[in-house]
Amino acid sequence: MKLTYLGLALASLTGSVHAADLGATDDPIKLAVNEWTGQHVSTHVAGEMLKAAGYKVEYVTAGYMNMYQAMSDGELHAALEIWSSNVSDDYAKQVEAGGVTELGDLGLDAKEGIAYPAHVADMCPGLPAWEALKDCAQKFATAETLPAGRLVDYPADWGTPGADRMTGLDLPFKAVPAGSEGALIAELRASTEKGSPLLITFWQPHWAMSAYDVKFVDLPVGEEACFNDPAWGPNPNAVNDCDFAPTRIFKASWSGLADKWPAAAEILTNYTMSVEDQQPLMGQIDVDGQSVEEAVAAWMAANEATWKPVVDAATK
Amino acid sequence: MMVEDHSVAAPLRRLAGLSPASIAAMITLIVGALCVALEPTLPWLVKYPAAWSIPASDWIGSALTWFLGLIKPAMRIISAGLAYPMDWAHALFTFVPWPLTIGLVTALGWYIGGLSLAALGLGGLIFVLASGYWLESMSTLSLVAVSVPLALLTGGATGILANEFPKFKNAIQTVLDVMQTVPTFAYLTPLLFLFGFGPVVGLIASAIYAAPPMARNVILGLERVESDIKEAAIMSGGTRLQQLFLIEIPSAKTQIMVGVNQCLMAALSMVIIAAVIGGFKDIGWEVLLTMRKAQFGPSLMAGLVIVVFAMIIDRYSGKLATERSRYDGRVALAIGAVGLVAALAFWGKLSNPSSITLLDPVASWLDQSLTGFLKQNGGALDSIKNGAMFYALLPLRIGLDGAVLPFTWGFQWTPVMSAAFIAVAAAAGLVLALRGRVALGIILVIIAGVIETGVSDLPWPFLLVGAGALGWVSGGRKLATFAFVMLGLVLISGLWDRALLSLYMSGASVITCAVLGGAIGLLCAISPMAWRVVLPICDMLQTIPLFVFLIPVLMFFQIGEFSAFLAICLYAIVPMIRYTRHGLVTTPEELIEAAVSSGATEWQTMIEVRAPYAAPTILLGLNQTILYAFAMLVIAALIGTTGLGQSIYGALAGADVGLGITSGAAMAILALVADRLVQGFAEERRQALGL
């Protein structure tokens, strides 16, 4: 018996230098399913890849903000789409404590910015150039922000990037924190349906970008200097007078992942997903009403060339 | 109205010949006026300096983290133990084919309450099936099925403990108050740390919230056991345990069943909170997902599923509590058998309940109606919002001097106007005082001062003294000290500014609810027709997950205070309506007959007889409205308010144990102080009426 094992191990070693041991294939790997569709897509594609490699996978719903304690306890094994722009403080704490490990970038090219539904361009001529906002701030004013215009910012616990831009560029807008993602979407929807003005902090990839025809305001491209050196940029007296710092979207896992399931850790580390792949899948799910499983299964069948090599590299 | 003699104030009162209420109001007014007058030289009198705060949330955070780390291993064992019944319940509920479940629930309905309950069970579950949320609902039910027995046991044991050891009764009551007023979101982070992840945490959170009603009703029930029954039990020579379990608890059964009913409802209302943690694909998670996409139709459907369960559970357990008679068991067996046969006959052929989408067209129709309504009435909605903001909410928050601007009212508020405004109020107050209503006159001046200054700019000594004075009038020196010290704690914890914003938000909502809810309650008391319309709306408002209402409110009025205000009112108005009506319709017949025979019109009877008699009940309704408003503040933070609710939510996101607990405690303190003050007044009214 021992000899056979040795022989197998030698054979696999000679087969590929990267091939890793599958590990405990009888125990399911638990992947965190958070609250938004894009994340469901990223997670299910990764899960199907793990299944193709011979693992059992369990999709576990988990609150995005509160899942890191569970991950550190080994009750959740990986989360595949974490946005650096609104990651919980708990993530850094758990990484520092050693229970959670980062698995590198997902490769999703995200953009955040100051945005508006397309019809707003008629109310504020000159958009998408940011300078146009100086003169039409009054049009965005509401009871709470008078005389300044109103900018709907991220929920307070995601940080205040919108407010920072307004201060940096010295624009007469007051930022109102949204409270939740649902509140942001409700604002976009109401503005599109009422034809009312709206300036909002938003991001892509997001299904609402196309559903409500959302456009980004053109801001000066952000460089490192913009965030440190007041002299840089259109406003000589302030930092942040430029576009958003690029957002990283990354993966993380329970620190014990690589020991228990070495090949799975390798697959998840090398796994990437692009906006071009994710966005149409989101549309099929949110707009056309397909289930995540259906949409992902069809995508897996059609795009074997994209994901198969990652699985093969780790297992063969 | 008189409160018993208070030695310190007695000579003062004799001097001035004033009632305690007048003296209290006078002291408050003087303190407020002094603060405003001295502000230019002593700015710390108005704005509490940040340097004087203690870093309470840091201290509490590190102390708690240490303590939680200590008990974590033990708690993990508990949660591992609870995971078994949870898994069994979940496996059972999701395994049983739906025809059998529907059959059994209908059969149970028949057995307890005959045709009407059977129809409710059948219709309700068919609605759930048609909505496509069957499996998610069964997950939810399995959570409730485990958390309720847990809550009943701990609640019942606590109640008995309080009954057996009267020494502890006060302490236990306070703990129960705290359990019900500290918002659940505030202690989710420690719970996650202690109990791990997944449905077990939701289960424990829901048990914490659901146990107090059970404990309270057990205490109340045991208290009300007639003394001759107790004596008979003692005479027959049973041990204390025998007396308790064989005599006293059975005699308190009705009250205890009320506790069971309330416990069930509370557990169900926590379902959505459990979903925030995740780990479990239940109906609350569906509400959260649809809420995140701002899909009103689907989220209303998911919310209605919870309402349906609440109604079935409420009516079934309510009937169990109040009626002894049971319907024919053979019919029940037959109904159950039909379900079983259907399940067996179609075994394997039953379509997956998740693929049923019969109600999807309804959901999208609802969504489109909302869109259509918005398109047509966008302008009108905006002017409603602006009107409310400009003329009510803004002045209340930042005062007339800040809110009256050319943009809003069309002119600028000047110091002369301030002086004139206060002078008019003072003159009116003086007139009232000369007519003998001294306290009312002074209160009028105080209110004018508050509106002029704005709640968020009120000087802290004024609020502390004001709360103390109210406490003194309402419940004597003990309550005065309680109110003063408790608010003082919030002050030095460094959360004062946020607490003031929360106070403003809930204050505005409570006033509106009191006026509007009182009027609706009055209408329902006069017209049974109106009550038939209002009752189901009240039921729905109380059981549907509140998140669901945030979407239309947001779409109509956008992010901001007005939306938060409306959301709070929607929830908090219900007890005001219920209690007002209940108080007015339960006036004893002989009182009314006496009034009618002495020639009073219906309206006079209402004002002169029913209203005073109902006052204690109405005050209790107000008390509940206040507690509901504070509870809703946390949910309203999802719309973007800036008070304590936002701190709690932010602490949850940042896993900041200290900030979460401190903000939750501050919220609970505000609610408890308001609760005690109103209960004090209610008690005094009851005594005045000789009840």
Give the tens place of pLDDT for each residue, B210-219: 899 899 889 8
Backbone angles phi, psi at A59, to 5 degrees: -95, 120
Cα dist. B451→A80, B325, B445, B454, B533 in Å?
52, 58, 10, 5, 36
pLDDT given at position A4 = 43
Q: How many CB atoms lie within 10 A of CB B215?
A: 27
B557 CA: distance to closest CA in chain A (Å)? 9
B-chain CB neighbours of A65 within 8 Å are: 652-653, 655
Identify the band that residue A87 occupies on the pLDDT scale cut at 50, 70 and 90: confident
For B383-419, give the DSSP string. Answer: HHHHHHIIIIIHHHHH-HHHH--TTTTSS---HHHHH
Dihedral of the CA atoms A287, A292, A293, A298 (nearest 10)?
50
Contacts of B638 (CB under 8 A, 6+ apart): A179, A180, A182, A183, B547, B550, B649
* Phi/psi at A57 (5° precision): -130, 140
Confidence grade of residue B382 (pLDDT, cut at 50, 70, 90): confident
If you average pLDDT over residues B418-436, what whole number do you get?
89
- Cα–Cα–Cα angle for B267, B268, B270, rounded to 5 degrees: 70
How far apart, in whole angstroms, are the C-alpha atoms of residue A25 and residue B135? Answer: 28
Mean pLDDT of chain A: 85
- pLDDT of residue B6 exceeding 70, the answer is no
Q: For residue B148, which of B106, B90, B203 has the smallest C-alpha distance?
A: B203
* pLDDT confidence bin for B475, thresholds 50/70/90: confident
Q: Identify any residues that bridge with A59 across adjacent strands, giving them in sequence order.
A: A31
Inform me whether the pLDDT recorded for A10 exceeds 50. Answer: no
At B117-156, the pLDDT tens digits run 899 999 999 999 988 888 889 988 888 889 999 999 999 9
Q: If you average pLDDT over residues B647-654, what whole number do you get? A: 81
Assign A198 a pLDDT band (cuts: 50, 70, 90).
Answer: very high
**pLDDT above 90: percentage of residues in chain B:** 16
pLDDT in tens, B175-192: 888 888 888 888 888 888
Task: Say if the Cβ atoms of B649 and A157 lie within 8 Å.
Answer: yes
> Across the interface, which of A35, A179, A185 has its CB nearest the CB of B294?
A185
Task: Tell if the pTM clears 0.95, that is, is over it.
Answer: no
Query: Average pLDDT in the B215-239 region?
Result: 84
The shortest CB-CB distance from A90 to any of B550, B555, B655 is to B655
Packing angle, helices B657-688 and B56-95, rounded to 10:
80
Residue B388 has pLDDT above 80, yes or no: yes
The predicted structure's pLDDT at residue A5? 46
First to last CA, chain A: 22
End-to-end CA distance of chain B: 15
Mean pLDDT across B616-635: 86
Q: Do A179 and B638 touch (CB under 8 A)?
A: yes
Q: What is the C-alpha to C-alpha distance for residues B468 and B445, in angstroms, rounded to an integer?
A: 18
B489-544 residue pLDDT tens: 999 988 888 899 999 999 999 999 999 999 999 999 888 899 999 988 888 887 77
The CATH classification number of B58-347 equals 1.10.3720.10
| Closest in A157, A190, A195 to B555, CB measured | A190
Contact present, B228 and A101 (Cβ < 8 Å): no
Q: Identify which of B277, B280, B637 has the shortest CB distance to residue A66.
A: B277
Give the closest of B289, B371, B640 to A176, CB-based: B640
Nearest CA in chain A to B281: A61
3-state secondary structure B446-460: HHHHHHHHCHHHCCH
- Rounded Cα distance, B344 and B350, in Å: 10
Helix (H/G/I), strand (E/B), else coil: A151: strand
CA of B89, closest CA in chain A: separation in Å? 18
> DSSP assignment, residue A59?
E
- Give domain B495-691's CATH superfamily: MetI-like (1.10.3720.10)
At residue B529, the 3 state secondary structure works out as: helix
Nearest CA in chain B to A192: B375
Indicate the residue of B198, B547, B561 with minimum beta-carbon distance to A144: B561
Please, what is the angle between helix B496-526 and helix B644-653, to 10°?
Answer: 120
The confidence score (pLDDT) of residue B691 equals 62
Sign (positive/negative) of CA torsion B621, B156, B147, B64?
A: positive
- Is the pLDDT reported for residue B623 higher than 90? no
Residues of chain A contacting residue B644, judged by C-beta atoms under 8 Å apart: none
Percent with pLDDT over 70 in chain B: 96
pLDDT of B10 = 53
Q: For B238-264, what is the mean pLDDT?
A: 84
User: What pLDDT does residue B346 have?
Assistant: 75
| % of chain A residues with pLDDT over 70 | 94
pLDDT band at A14 (very low <50, low <70, confident <90, very high): very low
Span A18-47, average pLDDT? 87
Q: What chain A residue is nearest to B374 in terms of C-alpha separation?
A: A194
Q: Which of B512, B489, B500, B509 is nearest to B647 (CA)?
A: B500
Q: Which of A202, A225, A223 is nearest to A213 (CA)?
A: A202
HSE-up of residue B477 (Cα within 13 Å, Cβ side): 7
Mean pLDDT of A22-46: 90
- For the record, the structure tokens of B159 come out as 């109640």
> B146 burial class (0-12, 13-18, 19+ CB within 10 angstroms)?
buried
- Select the residue from A93, A189, A196 to test the B interface by mutation, using most B Cβ atoms within 10 A: A189
Q: Is the dihedral of CA B46, B49, B50, B56 positive or negative?
A: negative
Stretch A248-274: mean pLDDT: 92
| B556-572 pLDDT per residue, tens | 888 888 888 999 999 89
Q: Which of A192-201, B41-50, B553-562 has the lowest mean pLDDT?
A: B41-50
- In this predicted structure, what is the pLDDT of residue B45? 79
Confidence grade of residue B2 (pLDDT, cut at 50, 70, 90)? very low
Backbone φ and ψ for B351, nearest 5 degrees, come out as -70, 150
Residue in chain A closest to B379 (alpha carbons) equals A194
Contacts of B139 in chain A (CB under 8 A): none
Q: Report the pLDDT averaged over residues B639-663.
A: 83
The mean pLDDT value for A226-254 works out to 86
Over the stretch A269-282, which tens digit does the pLDDT of each residue have?
999 998 888 888 88
pLDDT value at residue B161: 92
Average pLDDT over residues B475-486: 91
Give the count of beta carbons closer than 10 Å to the beta carbon of residue B360: 16
What pLDDT does residue B279 have? 65
Interchain CB distance below 8 Å, A182 and B291: yes
How many Cβ pairs closer than 8 A exist between chain A and B? 161
Q: Where in chain B is the domain with CATH 1.10.3720.10?
A: 58-347, 495-691
Go through the domains of chain A in sequence order and give each one's CATH number.
16-108+249-315 (3.40.190.10), 111-228 (3.40.190.100)
**Beta strands A173-177 and A29-33: pairing type?**
unpaired
The answer to whether B66 and B59 are in contact (CB under 8 A) is no
Nearest to B268, CA basis, from B239, B300, B305, B223: B305
| Average pLDDT rounded to a whole number, residues B411-421 | 87
Residue pair A79/A34 in contact (Cβ under 8 Å)? The answer is: yes
User: How confident is the prediction for chain B on average, in pLDDT?
Assistant: 85
